[in-house]
Amino acid sequence: MRGPILRRLYLSAKFPVARYSFARPFSTYPEPKKASSFWTLTFTLAIVGGGAWLQNRYFNPEDTITSQAQLPQKPSLGVIDTLATMPAEPAPGTVGNLTPEQEVKLKEFWVLTLKVFGLTLEELEAPQSTTTSDAATPAPAQDKKKPKSRWGIWGRADDDDTKSGSSSGTTASVASISITDGDDKYGQSKEFKQALEDMKPEEIRTAFWSMVKGDNPDSLLLRFLRARKWDTKKALVMLISTMRWRLLEMHVDDDIMFNGEASAVKMSQDSNPKEKKKGDDFLTQMRLGKSFLHGVDRAGRPICVVRVRLHKAGDQDNEGLERFTVYTIETARLLLASPVETATIIFDMTDFGMANMDYAPVKFMIKCFEANYPESLGAVLIHKAPWLFSSIWTVIKGWLDPVVAAKIHFTKNRQDLENFIHPSQIMKELEGDEDWEYKYVEVPENENPKMADKETRDTLMAERQKLAKEIQDTTIEWIRASFKNETDAASAAEEKRKNLIDQLRKHYWVLDPYVRARSLYDRLNIVQGGGKINFYPDSGKESESTSA
């Protein structure tokens, strides 16, 4: 019995200590003293037994691999229009696949969000839910409808609001929302209240529509609702704290995406050592291909590959790692084609050693997906994890929300990967059939000429804000008619609203070259402009691209 266990540990775990200790028969070692022999044998059995238990506990493909029959066999290649709805069935709880109870929750969430924007909409409070559906939890007692006030273009404030002559009363009403049941892992209640203090309602409104980008605003709100199990108040806390994080902490849109790789090149040439290091750190990660976006899995989800062996703790400071992480996530958002709303990450653990382990960026990445990019992960594949990763995984798993942890799968070889990705779209580096390898294309001079045209950018931004205002007005009409059971008016408002959202999404791609520096994926012709994406531009299977 001992022989097969030892051979398994030697062949599959590839642990250096194991190779040294078990490569030769026990008889070839000098004969130890009796007591020493006992403890040596005990320690050896503990390692072997523990290793076998951990191997089965964490790396058992029967427990961690999704059945191939559950996923499409091969997604179509060629140009995909991210603005068009694909023929696939939307996932439950997403746009196009909402239960009546979930649609009510979406409307309730819109009312709360618009209140944060400074609008007084007490008349739009939803009637008390009578459903017991698990998909949409009934509103708690404190959500009971407030006394109605007279309706105006933007609603009418309560008496206190009218006396103050401002929207401060409305802001105060939502500022009282907090999470009190312990479900606040990242302290978002505090950040939510801080956002309402630090940011004016109009700033929050502008930040929201900036965060929407080319997405459907309903899809964005639904991400937060699903993440908070359809609790509208918890979803609001999460949404507003995320906007504060984007705007005031990470500066996602006004710095990371606006300046992009071209700014990193300029920083790398700076005479200031600190600035130069920031630029060099960012470009080093891009040039190495420490992580990159390539292709799609069987469900049509964009794939991000993280080559863990290329990371060395201390090579870059945490700020640089966080900037690179957010840049990659935000770029991946551009590759989502409706109804796909999530991505797949492959952590390639080939040749992983303890020098590659760095807990700080792991914690930051977990926080990103749990707190700031909810419902963005489709699957996480930890590929070829060595035996020594078992103890590390025990620590990491303790940090994860159970919903996120359930999306993590361990894969050992090509066959395991094929359960998630078609073999023709697994690159050879991962033992697949696709003859592709990562190569960084350097930033050419004057790559972003439109970003210097501030006048056109301001004009386009004003047009976008006007469209956003029209969507808000129509959303109010839609909700008011729905809650009053005015079926025809609700249907008309819903259709008008859908057309406005389509216009907003198309308009983003007109604005895009004025607010986002070009990326590697633009230079590779993967992001083709106008909402057109080609995941495999060199496949020879390109479709005809139509204009936006």
pLDDT in tens, 215-256: 999 999 999 999 999 999 999 999 999 999 999 999 999 999
Q: Over 60: is that where the pLDDT of 5 sits?
A: no
pLDDT, residue 203, reads 92
pLDDT, residue 59, reads 46
Residues paired with residue 276 on neighbouring β-strands, in sequence order: none
**Contact status, residue 116 vs residue 242, Cβ threshold 8 Å:** no
Alpha carbons 25 and 48: distance in angstroms, whole number: 16
* DSSP-assigned states of every residue in 177-221: ----SS--TT-HHHHHHHHHHHS-HHHHHHHHHHHHTTS-HHHHH
Collapsed DSSP state (helix, strand, coil) of residue 30: coil
Q: Over 50: is that where the pLDDT of 54 sits?
A: no
What average pLDDT does this structure show over 359-363? 92
**Contact status, residue 427 vs residue 436, Cβ threshold 8 Å:** yes
Collapsed DSSP state (helix, strand, coil) of residue 292: strand
Q: Give 178's pLDDT tier (boundaries 50, 70, 90).
A: confident
pLDDT in tens, 309-336: 999 988 888 899 999 999 999 999 999 9
**Contact status, residue 235 vs residue 227, Cβ threshold 8 Å:** yes
CA dihedral 195, 196, 199, 200 (to 10 degrees): 160
pLDDT in tens, 473-519: 999 999 999 999 999 999 999 999 999 999 999 999 999 999 999 99
What's the burial of 7, exposed, middle or buried (CB within 10 Å: 0-12/13-18/19+)? exposed
CA distances from 42 to 9, 46, 159 (A): 17, 6, 78
Closest by Cα among 116, 54, 33 to 391 = 54
**Contact status, residue 338 vs residue 84, Cβ threshold 8 Å:** yes
Q: Give 84's pLDDT tier (boundaries 50, 70, 90).
A: confident
pLDDT, residue 74, reads 63
CA angle 524, 381, 81 (to 5 degrees): 40
**Contact status, residue 241 vs residue 195, Cβ threshold 8 Å:** yes
**Contact status, residue 372 vs residue 242, Cβ threshold 8 Å:** yes
Residue 34 phi/psi, 5° resolution? -60, -45
- Residue 272: both structure tokens together: 């200031």
Percent of the chain with pLDDT over 90: 64
Alpha carbons 201 and 207: distance in angstroms, whole number: 10
Q: Over 70: is that where the pLDDT of 47 sits?
A: no
Residues paired with residue 347 on neighbouring β-strands, in sequence order: 306, 382
Closest by Cα among 382, 295, 302, 291 to 341 = 302
- Better-predicted residue by pLDDT, 439 or 134: 439
- Residue 120: both structure tokens together: 């007084």
Collapsed DSSP state (helix, strand, coil) of residue 97: strand
What number of CA atoms fall less than 13 Å from residue 457's CA on the CB side?
A: 13
- Residue 307: both structure tokens together: 């080559």
- Residue 394: both structure tokens together: 């025990």
pLDDT, residue 50, reads 41
pTM of the full structure: 0.80
Q: Which amino acid is at 6?
A: L
Q: Give 172's pLDDT tier (boundaries 50, 70, 90).
A: low
- Better-predicted residue by pLDDT, 340 or 543: 340
- Residue 290: both structure tokens together: 């420490």
What average pLDDT does this structure show over 12-28? 36
pLDDT, residue 170, reads 53
Q: Which amino acid is at 4?
A: P
What number of CA atoms fall less than 13 Å from residue 461's CA on the CB side?
A: 13
Q: Over 60: is that where the pLDDT of 10 sits?
A: no
Residue 19: in which H helix or E strand, if any? helix 16-22
Q: Give 168's pLDDT tier (boundaries 50, 70, 90).
A: low
pLDDT in tens, 269-309: 999 999 999 999 999 999 999 999 999 999 999 999 999 99
pLDDT in tens, 108-120: 999 999 999 998 8
Residue 364 phi/psi, 5° resolution? -65, -40
What number of CA atoms fall less than 13 Å from residue 331's CA on the CB side?
A: 26
Q: Over 70: is that where the pLDDT of 352 sits?
A: yes
Q: Over 90: is that where the pLDDT of 145 sits?
A: no
Query: What sign does the CA torsion over 30, 34, 38, 43 have?
Result: negative
Q: Give 79's pLDDT tier (boundaries 50, 70, 90).
A: confident
pLDDT, residue 87, reads 64
What mean pLDDT, rounded, does the chain reach?
81
Quick check: bond before 449 cis, omega within 30?
no
**Contact status, residue 230 vs residue 136, Cβ threshold 8 Å:** yes
pLDDT, residue 86, reads 59
End-to-end CA distance of the chain: 66
Q: Over 70: is that where the pLDDT of 353 sits?
A: yes
- Better-predicted residue by pLDDT, 193 or 137: 193
Alpha carbons 479 and 476: distance in angstroms, whole number: 5
Q: Give 8's pLDDT tier (boundaries 50, 70, 90).
A: very low
Alpha carbons 432 and 75: distance in angstroms, whole number: 16
**Contact status, residue 271 vs residue 310, Cβ threshold 8 Å:** no
pLDDT, residue 75, reads 63
Q: Over 70: is that where the pLDDT of 459 sits?
A: yes
